[in-house]
Amino acid sequence: MFQTHLLIPAFEEWFQSGKRFSTIVEARQFAALVLGEPVLSGTATAKFVDESIERSLVRVARAVAQANRDREVVFDQLVDLYQRQPTLGTRSSTSILQQAYSTPLPIASLAATLIDITPESTVYEPTAGNGVLLLHTHPALVTVNELNPERANELRSQGYSVTQHNAVNYRPSQLHDVIITNPPFGTVSESGSTKRFQIKDFDDHLMLTAAGLWNFYLVAA
């Protein structure tokens, strides 16, 4: 079983102290020391290391965003944090199936700024991942949905109440000030056939229609 209780705090402390990883190899070497086992490219352990790095970065970024209301200062600090992280490119069958792609930290903050998300905003995130688009929110005012159980648990550790529905079919019962999401893109397979959904001038955003707020959303790509 992966030792998240060891690796995520170790990476979190590393980035909080201003350190960097120039390459993913360096990050895996560090992880190997923490875990007491080698981290080989293309393995489940390598994917676990990537996930742990991302989760630690979101935690550090959230602390930055919550400590300062000056969005320009936050953006600059998140750019620095982003530049100190290695490239995370390991894909698993689960992440491929669920089309899990993460938004870069500075872009996540910029997206929230463009639609004026504040800790007072009520927000719905249909595919929340590790919570990168929720840096500026207050957990009590956010409706969070995430299908992946490991990422859902990570969100709970950040203080969010989490549902685990298919975002295409799930519609929250309450209205929100804004939806923010980085949705899966591409085709949908149903009964062996390929389906696409055309909504206005955009493909694939069936999930946003399910949320019932098509005219009041931001897609952060």
Q: What is the chain's pLDDT, residue by residue, as a tens digit (221 residues)?
A: 567 789 999 999 999 999 999 999 999 999 999 999 999 998 999 989 999 999 999 999 999 999 988 999 999 999 999 999 998 865 433 333 334 457 899 999 999 999 999 999 999 999 999 999 999 999 999 999 999 999 999 999 999 999 999 888 888 989 999 999 886 655 555 566 665 555 555 444 444 444 444 333 344 33
Q: What is the pLDDT of residue 149?
A: 93
Q: What is the pLDDT of residue 152?
A: 96
Residues 128 and 36 in one domain: no
Strand partners, 195: 188
- Whole-model pTM above 0.85? no
Residues 54 and 104 in one domain: no
Q: What is the pLDDT of residue 63?
A: 96
CATH number at residue 188: 3.40.50.150
Residues 120 and 198 in one domain: yes
Token reading at 120: 């007072």
Residues 166 and 195 in one domain: yes
Q: What is the pLDDT of residue 121?
A: 96
Query: Can you say how many angstroms the Cα of residue 139 is from the centroid of all Cα atoms in its chain?
Result: 15
Last residue of a domain, one of 90, 117, 146: 90
Structural domain harbouring 143? 98-221
Q: What is the pLDDT of residue 220?
A: 39
Query: Can you say how many angstroms the Cα of residue 126 is from the centroid of all Cα atoms in its chain?
Result: 11
Last residue of a domain, one of 28, 60, 90: 90
Last residue of a domain, one of 74, 90, 106: 90
Question: Domain count of the chain?
Answer: 2
Distances (CA, A) of 8 to 30, 44, 86, 154, 191: 12, 16, 15, 10, 39
Q: What is the pLDDT of residue 5?
A: 83
Q: What is the pLDDT of residue 17?
A: 97
Residue with tokens 């995370």: 88
Residues 108 and 210 in one domain: yes
